[in-house]
Amino acid sequence: MKILIVDDFSTMRRIIKNLLRDLGFTNTDEADDGNSALPMLRSGKYDFLVTDWNMPGMSGFDLLKEVRADEQLKDLPILMVTAEAKRDQIVAAAQAGVNGYVVKPFTAAVLKEKIEKIFERIQ
């Protein structure tokens, strides 16, 4: 299971990386916005994408749309972990095809639950 973590703050990437490691996912890579994430996704055979929304360069929402529009990547499961908490935004993310949505600040238990739920639905 190879996971890409996209967040502009290195601290948040580190926290998510640690939480994922505790859940048994040790094969993770990091990117700091959509622009750097997209080429990694296209060449790196990732199984799962965890992304923030608000980032300089390409936002997580645009990254979500790019991934869904890409023939090769469109089925990649995506979990959004973000401080964006407006109803319109959550609805828009759902309509754009996000698989899960976690609002910051979050707990390890919530992250675990959402990730497990996504994999449950995929299998």
Q: Which spans of this chain sit near other proteins (rule: CB under 8 A)? A: 10-11, 14-15, 18, 53-55, 59-61, 82-92, 94, 101-104, 106, 110
* C-beta closer to other proteins: residue 3 or 51: 51
* C-beta closer to other proteins: residue 18 or 27: 18
- How near is the Cβ of 85 to other proteins at its closest, in Å? 5
- How near is the Cβ of 103 to other proteins at its closest, in Å? 5
Cα end-to-end distance, the chain, whole Å: 14
Taking the C-alpha atoms of residue 121 and residue 123, their distance in angstroms, rounded to an integer, is: 6
Q: Which long-range contacts (CB under 8 A, 24 or more apart) does 19-23 make?
A: 19/108, 19/111, 19/112, 20/50, 20/115, 22/108, 23/111, 23/112, 23/115
Taking the C-alpha atoms of residue 23 and residue 73, their distance in angstroms, rounded to an integer, is: 24
* C-beta closer to other proteins: residue 28 or 82: 82
- How near is the Cβ of 72 to other proteins at its closest, in Å? 25
